[in-house]
């Protein structure tokens, strides 16, 4: 299985263990969010959260060695998301706040695009590729968390049992809900009741179920294809033939 040409034209050869840095950044964001929220005021926490979220994905774009045009797109989206969010805080404009969420969602979608392209690239199944699949999974959870915040902001009351009153609290709450939905845990403490909220929940839970099944099939296919390619490689065949032709040395 090789990635479509639309993926390949934006990629260069990835370095080893690049997804390890991205996974570390994503985990750091998850565990730092509560600390930031607890130690800072809402405005400061909001700005710091945006810096961490944007920095994590920019790190992913850089470590994956994307083409300059795609990396520049990431920088533009990150800057737009950050500036729109700051303007929304200063002015209190809900309209600008909605667009800041849209820019953030587009930003993380770019990260999924980059990660999936490298994950689908032809080659051996390595620990780095498996780590990449985990990163894509976590980035999808972030996308749905931001999407659900947007839905609740535009259509208040789309979710029940929400307790957050600030954006930083709400982000933590919806990240928790997003991961629970993606893994089809169904705790039930937060429930979607609005039409769009329920549609998003259906999409996310369906993605979570099929992602694992498709991922396993894809990794097996890549492994078999790589093994077959190695077996047909003339250099590989020649080296095996030379190895078999060697006679054991007499003592």
**Predicted model pTM:** 0.78
Best CA proximity match to 74, nearest among 108, 100, 99, 48: 108
| Long-range CB contacts for residues 88-92, cutoff 8 Å, separation at least 24 | 89/43, 89/46, 89/47
Best CA proximity match to 132, nearest among 14, 2, 242, 23: 23
- Euclidean distance between CA atoms 75 and 61, whole angstroms: 9
DSSP state of 66: B
Q: Residue 33: what pLDDT?
A: 74
Q: Residue 149: what pLDDT?
A: 92
What tokens appear for 211 in the block? 């992602």
Best CA proximity match to 100, nearest among 87, 119, 118, 114: 87
Task: Please report, for the chain, the start and end positions of each structural domain, with discontinuous segments joined by +.
Answer: 5-232
Burial 6-31 (b: 16+ CB within 10 A, else e): ebeebbeebeeebbebbeebbeebbe
Q: Residue 59: what pLDDT?
A: 65
Which residues have C-beta within 8 Å of that of residue 193, sequence separation ≥ 6?
157, 158, 159, 160
Q: Residue 48: what pLDDT?
A: 65
Q: Residue 46: what pLDDT?
A: 62
Maximum distance among all alpha carbons in the chain? 87
At 114 the three-state DSSP class reads helix
pLDDT by 10s per residue, the chain, length 251: 444 444 444 444 445 567 787 788 788 778 877 776 676 666 666 666 666 666 666 666 566 556 677 778 878 887 888 788 778 777 878 888 889 889 889 988 888 888 888 777 767 777 878 888 888 999 999 999 999 999 998 999 999 999 887 777 788 899 999 999 999 887 878 999 999 999 999 999 999 999 988 887 887 777 777 677 655 555 545 555 555 555 545 44
Q: Residue 16: what pLDDT?
A: 57
- Strand residues in the chain grouped as ranges (E): 159-160, 191-192
- Euclidean distance between CA atoms 145 and 79, whole angstroms: 20
Q: Residue 9: what pLDDT?
A: 47
At 11 the three-state DSSP class reads strand
């Amino acid at each position: 299985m090789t990635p479509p040409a639309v993926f390949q034209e934006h990629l260069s050869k990835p370095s080893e263990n690049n997804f390890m840095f991205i996974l570390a950044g994503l985990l750091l964001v998850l565990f730092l969010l509560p600390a930031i929220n607890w130690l800072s005021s809402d405005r400061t926490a909001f700005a710091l959260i945006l810096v961490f979220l944007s920095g994590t994905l920019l790190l992913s774009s850089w470590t994956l060695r994307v083409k300059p045009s795609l990396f520049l797109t990431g920088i533009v989206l990150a800057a737009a998301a950050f500036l729109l969010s700051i303007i929304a805080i200063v002015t209190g404009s809900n309209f600008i706040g909605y667009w800041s969420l849209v820019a953030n969602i587009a930003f993380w979608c770019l990260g999924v695009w980059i990660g999936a392209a490298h994950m689908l690239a032809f080659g051996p199944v390595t620990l780095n590729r498996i780590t990449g699949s985990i990163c894509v999974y976590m980035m999808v959870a972030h996308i749905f968390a931001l999407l659900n915040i947007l839905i609740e902001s535009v259509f208040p009351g789309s979710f029940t049992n929400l307790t957050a009153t600030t954006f930083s609290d709400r982000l933590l709450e919806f990240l928790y809900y997003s991961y629970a939905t993606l893994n089809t845990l169904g705790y039930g403490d937060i429930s979607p009741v609005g039409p769009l909220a329920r549609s998003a929940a259906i999409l996310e839970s369906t993605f979570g179920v099929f992602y694992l099944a498709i991922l396993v099939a894809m990794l097996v296919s890549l492994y078999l294809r790589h093994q077959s390619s190695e077996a047909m490689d003339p250099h590989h065949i020649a080296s095996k033939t030379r190895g078999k032709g060697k006679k054991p040395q007499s003592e």
